[in-house]
């Protein structure tokens, strides 16, 4: 049974307080881990930009982004992914029907200028936590913005070299860039 926890409840009456507490704790943990992941990732990217400019940051992301999420996954004993409908790395594409549904939900909320929040879903023996990622800083547009406007031609060439199947461009401020997806095994 697939249940969305946080948008609405799917309790059957037999759910006890300890399970409700575990769900609440998982949601808090998901927020904490995704926030830490975003912070670590952005800090590393900004340091790369300061160290060698936007092109250097592209090389850094190409080589290190997966290692950052993998090391955080290992440290927190949870599967962590950054996923998007316009992925740069093919491994970060929306995979499941639930990924696509959640992405469409967040897009609709943003388009309607409604608030968006994290979502916790129970999927069989695991809890899946989604948290939207929006373009929040002008520096993000140097790699994810509009070609010819935000992205310098040399940066565009570097993106095309490192990511020949890149779809992660033509964003504007506050656009939905992707989602954090954390999968917690249910005990």
Tens-digit pLDDT profile for residues 98-118? 999 999 999 999 888 888 889
**Structure confidence at residue 122 (pLDDT):** 87
**How many domains are contained in the chain?**
1
Would you say 40 and 76 are in contact if contact means Cβ atoms under 8 Å apart?
Answer: no
Domain interval for residue 119: 2-8+16-185
C-alpha to C-alpha distance for 161 and 155, rounded to whole angstroms: 10
pLDDT band at 95 (very low <50, low <70, confident <90, very high): very high
Q: What is the dihedral of CA 37, 110, 123, 81, to 10 degrees?
A: -30
Sequence-ordered list of residues with C-beta below 8 angstroms from that of 71, at least 6 positions apart, any chain: none
Q: At what angle do helices 17-76 and 153-162 cross, to 10 degrees?
A: 100
Average pLDDT, the chain: 87
- What average pLDDT does the segment 2-7 reach? 46
Query: What pLDDT, in 10s, does the model give residues 29-78?
Result: 999 999 999 998 899 899 988 998 888 888 888 877 888 888 888 899 99
C-alpha to C-alpha distance for 75 and 68, rounded to whole angstroms: 11
Residue among 72, 64, 75, 62 at smallest CA distance from 181: 72
Q: Which two tokens stand for residue 147?
A: 């070609």
157 pLDDT higher than 50: yes
15 pLDDT higher than 70: no
């Amino acid at each position: 049974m697939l249940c969305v926890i946080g948008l609405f409840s799917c309790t059957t009456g037999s759910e006890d307080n300890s399970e409700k507490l575990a769900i609440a704790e998982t949601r808090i943990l998901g927020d904490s881990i995704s926030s830490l992941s975003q912070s670590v990732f952005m800090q590393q990217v900004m340091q790369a930009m300061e160290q060698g400019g936007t092109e250097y940051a592209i090389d850094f992301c190409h080589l290190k982004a997966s290692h950052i999420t993998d090391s955080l996954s290992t440290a927190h004993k949870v599967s962590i992914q950054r996923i998007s409908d316009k992925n740069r790395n093919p491994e970060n594409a929306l995979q499941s029907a639930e990924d696509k549904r959640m992405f469409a939900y967040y897009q609709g909320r943003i388009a309607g200028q409604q608030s968006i929040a994290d979502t916790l879903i129970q999927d069989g023996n695991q809890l899946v936590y989604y948290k939207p990622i929006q373009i929040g800083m002008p520096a993000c547009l140097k790699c994810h913005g509009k070609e010819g406007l935000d992205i310098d031609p040399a940066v565009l060439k570097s993106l095309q070299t490192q990511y020949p199947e890149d779809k992660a461009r033509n964003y504007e401020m506050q656009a939905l860039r992707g989602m954090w997806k954390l999968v917690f095994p249910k005990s």
